[in-house]
């Protein structure tokens, strides 16, 4: 068990001027509060805050943080100690740190998922208030994970999963690699003990040979560098168990197929020496293609810098080597704390506006915009915990984004206005689809047009929280405005029969009173609910007039009656009622084309869904939600995606001839999928086409039927 003197020694190593009396005072206070308390292991509870404080001291944190580590459980786990008491004894700063950690811990939730999501939101808020709070929480979680075997098995699994999902990636984002690695291994041991101990067993079998190999490589590298007058520190380490297992899973390898179980680290004095050492090593051993990464020129989001390379070393063994300066190594070891500055008198301060904290600002902005905890957690995991790509703006600035990001993600990272008005993108000078996944080194140029708006379809491929938030924010705003307008028209027409003016009701405040009686915050929410289809007009009219509608009157005020007049041109070639900007979407179950009979249905929260009249789904729809719609033949240039499946002989040239026939009809091919039935030797080709109307589809299908080798052709509704 860690002794208090160990903490004092560690603190003095970092800061010889540290206030040791304050530390002693905190230790004595913690010992008194926790006297007689035992942990699940049966050991004195005081051991836990001592361990936490020692971890914080190892991170070279200031005296106040280490004191807070000693005191972090005194309020939560004591019936007698209050936050005011902590403040009176140790000052407001330490009380604030203890309070931050306590608030993260004192949470109760309806489900494990909600607990995890809300817990993470609390951590982010605490992090914004003071970064040291989350570091204390990480130290607390690390020691709890070291002693997790004493908890009930079910609780072990819950805590371990949360550690793997949140705390290990958070440690990585903060740049504290050793805590991240240890948390991963400890969590893995409890979540999948069979796999964990199997790897441990296999590692132990070859340990002596591996240790001998490591020593040989270290000595060889030292001698090689000294011969070039470079005096460096060279270390070798075994990769952590979880990272080995992850590599086995991702690359579908057996343990024996994992070549680079060990990694070597070379510490030099300057950036120039980093690159010189890289050249020397590549001259000695052949580098593995695609395994060189320059994190010095392009630092990771957590400010990690190093050169990484994998070479074919002695005996044909793959050797992974990391090369960095001593200063870079301090950042890798101590993470975000290595960037902190101290004012005169040792007062802690950090610059919230620096690029090092940009990720935190983004996470905080998004947590204010998303109310659903699960949705929030799912999205931030992408931004916070995924691998990254590094791309360039036209001016050469480097932008780091999560792996899988698209030009739309890039556009929103540049500015909300750029994202909102994005109409296209160029990657390395070539126009590409907006859903194209970016690769490191790409040069991105966003094409914009004033007046353009985000597209709902973008949500299917964007990955960053910022992009998703901005797109959803626009769509919700647009949807709400459309629903209010639609609801207002419906109510206005219904009230007209009773010769009641909706405008006068709004002006007098009567409509707001009705909204309150029906449990709505305002008349806007009331009208939006009518437009969404969540609230019937009859209910509102009854509340206004005090009279219940007859069956005939109810029928008269149905959606079908209200929206029957078709006078407004709807963007996209549809006319729906006389209300401006009614949101609609084409049903995916039938993909209706301009020219074929259609019908609309009010869908909860999604505006109006347009179906083909002969769609089977129409038979199951509630007629009360039916809306008469029609195509606007005056709209030019509008196309819809239509799929056809072609059955043909499996022979050369058929696909090319089909594509030529489609092109001759001036139809764009969006996508092609083909397969062959080996039993019948019949090819099946699915084409996604950009079609203007039903007439054009029929024409192109006739052209395809004439192609030699085509057996039959069908239109796919889905």
**Residue 176 near residue 334 (C-beta atoms within 8 A):** yes
Specify the domain boundaries for CATH 3.30.460.10 within the chain.
206-335
Phi-psi region of 580 (alpha: psi -120 to 50; beta: other; left: phi over 0): beta
Specify the domain boundaries for CATH 3.10.20.30 within the chain.
386-463
* DSSP class per residue in 141-196: HHHHHHTGGGS-HHHHHHHHHHIIIIIHHHHHHTT-HHHHHHHHHHHHHHH-HHHH
pLDDT attached to residue 342: 45
Q: How far apart are CA 229 and CA 693, in angstroms?
A: 75
Q: From the first residue on, what is the mean pLDDT of each consecutive set of 10 residues in the chain (718 residues)? A: 90 88 94 89 91 93 92 79 88 89 61 62 68 88 93 89 85 86 94 92 84 90 93 89 88 81 91 94 90 85 86 87 92 72 45 54 60 63 67 83 90 92 91 90 90 86 85 79 79 80 84 84 82 76 69 44 39 53 70 83 69 79 71 65 87 85 85 76 86 88 90 84
Closest to 221 (Cα-Cα) out of 330, 331, 329, 320: 320
- What's the Cα-to-Cα distance from 38 to each of 41, 46, 594, rounded to whole Å? 8, 8, 74
Of the CA atoms within 13 Å of residue 62, those in its CB half-sphere come to: 19
Looking at domain 4-194, its CATH class is mainly alpha
**Residue 544 near residue 510 (C-beta atoms within 8 A):** yes
pLDDT attached to residue 438: 92
List, in sequence order, every residue forming a beta bridge with 170; answer none if it has no partner. Answer: none
Q: How far apart are CA 168 and CA 48, in angstroms?
A: 20
Give the Cβ contact number of residue 17 at 10 Å.
9
pLDDT attached to residue 108: 47
Give the Cβ contact number of residue 108 at 10 Å.
7
Specify the domain boundaries for CATH 3.30.70.260 within the chain.
640-716
User: Computed from CA positions of residues 689, 692, 695, 700, in that sequence, does the dihedral angle turn out positive or negative?
Assistant: negative
Rg (CA), the chain: 33
pLDDT attached to residue 70: 94
Q: How far apart are CA 83 and CA 102, in angstroms?
A: 10
Alpha-carbon dihedral 230, 232, 238, 241, rounded to 10 degrees: -110
CATH fold for the domain made of 640-716: Alpha-Beta Plaits (3.30.70)
pLDDT attached to residue 664: 86
Of the CA atoms within 13 Å of residue 1, those in its CB half-sphere come to: 12
pLDDT attached to residue 341: 47
CATH fold for the domain made of 386-463: Ubiquitin-like (UB roll) (3.10.20)
**Residue 578 near residue 567 (C-beta atoms within 8 A):** yes
Q: How far apart are CA 526 and CA 531, in angstroms?
A: 9
- What's the Cα-to-Cα distance from 611 to each of 83, 584, 585, 626, rounded to whole Å? 62, 11, 9, 11
Homologous superfamily (CATH) for 206-335: Beta Polymerase, domain 2 (3.30.460.10)
669: helix, strand or coil: strand
Catalytic positions: 76-77
The angle, 0 to 180 degrees and rounded to 10, between the axes of the packed helices 654-664 and 694-705 is 140
pLDDT attached to residue 115: 64
């Amino acid at each position: 068990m860690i002794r208090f003197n160990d903490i004092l020694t560690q603190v003095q190593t970092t800061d010889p001027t540290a206030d040791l009396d304050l530390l002693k005072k905190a230790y004595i206070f913690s010992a008194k509060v926790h006297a007689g308390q035992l942990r699940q292991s049966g050991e004195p509870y005081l051991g836990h805050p001592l361990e936490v404080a020692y971890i914080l001291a190892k991170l070279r944190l200031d005296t106040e943080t280490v004191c807070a580590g000693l005191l972090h459980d005194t309020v939560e786990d004591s019936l007698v100690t209050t936050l005011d008491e902590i403040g009176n004894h140790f000052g407001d700063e330490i009380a604030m740190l203890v309070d931050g950690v306590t608030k993260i811990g004192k949470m109760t939730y309806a489900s494990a998922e909600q607990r995890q999501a809300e817990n993470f939101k609390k951590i982010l808020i605490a992090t914004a208030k003071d970064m040291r709070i989350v570091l204390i929480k990480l130290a607390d979680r690390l020691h709890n994970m070291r002693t997790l075997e004493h908890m009930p098995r079910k609780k072990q699994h819950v805590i371990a999963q949360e550690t793997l999902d949140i705390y290990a990636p958070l440690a990585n984002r903060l740049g504290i690699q050793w805590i991240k690695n240890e948390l991963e291994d400890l969590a893995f041991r409890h979540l999948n003990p069979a796999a964990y101990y199997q790897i441990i067993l296999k590692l132990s079998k070859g340990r002596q040979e591996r240790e001998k190999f490591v020593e040989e490589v270290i000595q060889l590298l030292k001698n090689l560098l000294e011969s070039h007058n470079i005096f460096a520190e060279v270390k070798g380490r075994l990769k952590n168990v979880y990272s080995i297992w992850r590599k086995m899973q991702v690359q579908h390898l057996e343990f024996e197929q994992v070549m680079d179980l060990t990694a070597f680290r070379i510490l030099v004095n300057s950036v120039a020496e980093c690159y010189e050492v890289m050249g020397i090593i590549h001259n000695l051993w052949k580098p593995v293609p695609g395994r060189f990464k320059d994190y010095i020129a392009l630092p990771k989001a957590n400010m990690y810098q190093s050169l990484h390379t994998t070479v074919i070393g002695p005996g044909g063994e793959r050797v992974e080597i990391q090369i960095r300066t001593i200063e870079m190594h301090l950042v890798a070891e101590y993470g975000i704390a290595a960037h902190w500055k101290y004012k005169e008198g040792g007062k802690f301060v950090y610059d919230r506006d620096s690029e090092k904290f940009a990720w935190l600002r983004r996470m905080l902005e998004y947590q204010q915009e998303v109310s659903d905890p699960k949705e929030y957690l799912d999205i931030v995991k992408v931004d916070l915990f995924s691998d990254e790509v590094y791309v360039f703006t036209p001016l050469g600035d480097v932008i780091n984004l999560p792996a899988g990001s698209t030009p739309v993600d890039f556009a929103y990272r540049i500015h909300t206005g750029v994202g909102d008005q994005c109409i296209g993108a160029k990657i390395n000078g070539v126009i590409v689809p907006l859903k194209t996944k970016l690769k490191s080194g790409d040069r991105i140029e966003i094409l914009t047009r004033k007046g353009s708006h985000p597209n709902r379809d973008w949500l299917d491929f964007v990955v960053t929280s910022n992009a998703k938030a901005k797109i959803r924010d626009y769509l919700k705003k647009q949807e709400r405005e459309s629903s209010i307008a639609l609801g207002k028209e419906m109510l206005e027409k219904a009230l007209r029969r009773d010769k009641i003016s909706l405008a006068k009701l709004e002006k007098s405040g009567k409509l707001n009173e009705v909204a309150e009686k029906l449990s709505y915050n305002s008349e806007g929410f009331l009208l939006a609910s009518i437009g969404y289809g969540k609230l019937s007009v009859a209910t509102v009219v009854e509340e206004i007039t005090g009279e219940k509608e007859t069956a005939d009157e109810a029928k008269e005020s149905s959606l079908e009656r209200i929206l029957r007049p078709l006078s407004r041109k709807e963007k996209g070639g549809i006319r729906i009622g006389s209300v401006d900007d009614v949101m609609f979407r084409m049903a995916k179950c039938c993909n209706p084309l301009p020219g074929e009979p259609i019908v609309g249905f009010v869908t909860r929260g999604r505006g109006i869904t347009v179906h083909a009249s002969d769609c089977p789904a129409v038979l199951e729809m509630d007629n009360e939600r039916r809306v008469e719609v029609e195509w606007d033949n005056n709209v030019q240039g509008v196309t819809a995606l239509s799929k056809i499946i072609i059955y043909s002989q499996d022979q050369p040239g058929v696909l090319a001839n089909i594509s030529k026939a489609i092109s001759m009809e001036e139809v764009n091919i969006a996508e092609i999928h083909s397969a062959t039935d080996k039993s019948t030797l019949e090819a099946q080709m699915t084409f996604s086409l950009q079609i203007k109307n039903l007439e054009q589809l029929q024409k192109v299908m006739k052209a395809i039927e004439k192609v030699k080798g085509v057996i039959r052709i069908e239109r796919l509704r889905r």
